[in-house]
Amino acid sequence: MDDALHHLSQVDPIMAGLIARYPSPALKKHTHYYQELVDSIISQQLSVRAAAAIEDRFKAIYGGTFPAPEQIITTDIETLRSAGLSRPKATYIQDLARHIIDGTVDFSQLDSLSNDEIVTELVKVKGIGEWTAHMFLMFCMGRLDVLPTGDLGIRNGVARLFNFDHVPDAREIEELASARHWHPYESVASWYIWQSLENKPAL
């Protein structure tokens, strides 16, 4: 992380200002891949508090522990919905479990794959799109070179910080990152862009 902060401070004055203003990001790798993806599906379009409450009820179905994929696929949809999951989210979680059981998603191989290969692997699962895959790469696998161009917070933050007169699209953000030499620390740059919003409303 020290290398990332030094690099970004040297190549981009705006990043240097953000790094001076906010604490260092916590982008630490962990290997709870399966649980992280289930949590991601549960939390989609929900507040942190609401997602946590549903996850607690979800685990309560299995005696308070996080269930194995084999347990999830043998649980009927209505039981999963009783935890507060929507029907689509319940089916997405079961789809993830099936992909793990049949080996379509193989967590033991992920560390050897590139970011793009991991995204391709994960989006095979219903309910996991590019945004979820990018968050997984950053906050679970600790990859420092991820640019989540589909994230609305990133798009709004870039617009404010770099004086766009519109919310930039993915291509414009990629071009900006390249021009300002964020590589190979796009994840760190993105984290500081999120901090700069300070929960301000979208443009």
Percent composition of the chain: helix, strand, coil (DSSP 3-state, to 5): 60, 0, 40
Count of helix runs (H) and strand runs (E) in the chain? 12, 0
Mean pLDDT of 69-75: 96
Q: How high does pLDDT run on average in the chain?
A: 92
Which of 93-102, 144-153, 174-183, 194-203 is predicted with the least confidence, judged by mean pLDDT? Answer: 194-203
pTM value?
Answer: 0.85
Mean pLDDT of 123-152: 92
Mean pLDDT of 122-149: 92
Structural domains in the chain?
Answer: 2-22+147-197 (1.10.1670.40), 33-139 (1.10.340.30)
Question: What is the reported pLDDT for 203?
Answer: 42
- The DSSP string of 116-130 is HHHHHHHTTSTT--H
Out of 103-112, 145-154, 193-202, the most confident range is: 145-154
HSE of 21 in the Cβ direction (CA atoms, 13 Å)? 14
Question: What is the reported pLDDT for 85?
Answer: 95
Coil, helix or strand at residue 133: helix
Question: What is the reported pLDDT for 45?
Answer: 83
- The DSSP string of 31-42 is --HHHHHHHHHH
Long-range contacts of 60-65 (CB under 8 A, 24+ apart): none
Higher per-residue confidence, 31 vs 68: 68
Q: Which two tokens stand for residue 83?
A: 């935890």
Which of 30-34, 76-80, 96-100, 117-121 is predicted with the least confidence, judged by mean pLDDT? Answer: 30-34
Residue 202 has pLDDT above 50, yes or no: no
Residue % of the chain over a pLDDT of 90: 79
Residue % of the chain over a pLDDT of 70: 98
- Between CA 142 and CA 187 the distance in angstroms is 9
Q: Please, what is the Cα angle at 191 between 186 and 193, to 5 degrees?
A: 95
- pLDDT confidence tier of residue 200, bands split at 50, 70 and 90: low
Cα-Cα-Cα-Cα torsion 168, 172, 177, 183, nearest 10 degrees, comes to: 120
